[in-house]
Amino acid sequence: MALIEEFKTQGDFLFKNRGHLPLIIVAIGMAVFVYEVYNGNSVSNSDNPIVKYYYEICFLVGILGLAIRCHVVGHAPDRTSGRNIENQVADVVNTKGMYSVLRHPLYLGNFFMWLAVALLTMNLWFIIAFVLFYIVYYERIMYSEEAFLRNKFGEGYLNWADKTPAFIPALSKYQAVEASFNFKKILKKEKNGILALLSLFWFFNLIEYSIINYQAGLEFKFELNYWFYASLAIAVYYVVLKVIKISKKKSK
């Protein structure tokens, strides 16, 4: 198989499984995190006041990624930017807003959201490995998407792609979006990302304090902090939307 075809085949496979395969990296990151905490490298063991807010700093990185995704999805026409899983979907080529400064803004948003979790490990080598993995992983997916768009929209897509960088934003090229922001669409489409981000931060935090208490000879204590309550609130919202969606399908 020629390399160009291999890239396309790999990209199609990774596109369809992009919601599941990164969980392997999360599992590895969790193992690295446990190792670091066991060896005393944790937020709670530090006397540095800045390190005390390390979780919040990492969370801001994730919020940056989420904000990018929300801006893109909130302004995008239907059947373009979103969480399509099985097949590529695009009725038009988006060229305004974030799409005027880079070709794959959703994946830039994903990068910062995943980077936020990788940073929690406090392990420089894992963070570097994550960045390299992300580049290789999403490079294939972006190749697959661009092949689809090139075949569907032809010269119109190529003209836009020639002047728009793939991943690193060219902020000077920004063009305002004509469509109004659809907040309801954000609440429906981005609930998965919000729930995953908050849940992972809560789970990492729970693991850290569990290990520290274990090493100190203390009993397990379920931490009811703001990470827990925020995750619980989003989880309830997620379940309610799912129930409403199922109810609507049954009523049809």
* 157 — pLDDT class (breaks 50, 70, 90): confident
Residue type, 249: K
Which pLDDT score is estimated for 80?
Answer: 62
| Whole-angstrom distance, CA of residue 29 vs CA of residue 130 | 9
More confident residue, 127 or 143: 127
pLDDT at 84 over 80: no
**Packing angle, helices 191-215 and 54-75, rounded to 10:** 170
- pLDDT of residue 218 exceeding 70, the answer is yes
Residue reference for tokens 């836009």:
160
Confidence of residue 85 (pLDDT cuts 50, 70, 90): very low
Work out how many domains the chain is built from and give that number: 1
Maximum mean pLDDT: which of 44-58, 95-109, 174-188: 95-109
Residue-averaged pLDDT of the chain: 83
Domain around 60: 3-251
pLDDT in tens, 1-51: 455 566 667 666 766 766 677 788 889 999 999 999 988 887 766 677 677
pLDDT at 224: 82
DSSP 51: G
Q: How far is CA 207 from CA 21, 30, 46, 121, 220, in A?
A: 23, 9, 17, 12, 10
pTM given for the model:
0.87
The rounded Cα 6 to chain-centroid distance in angstroms is: 26
**DSSP per residue, 37-77:** HHTT-SSTT---TTGGGHHHHHHHHHHHHHHHHHHHHHHSP
Q: Quote the percentage of the chain above a pLDDT of 90.
A: 29
Q: What does the alpha-carbon distance between residue 192 and residue 27 come to, in Å, rounded to a whole number? A: 18
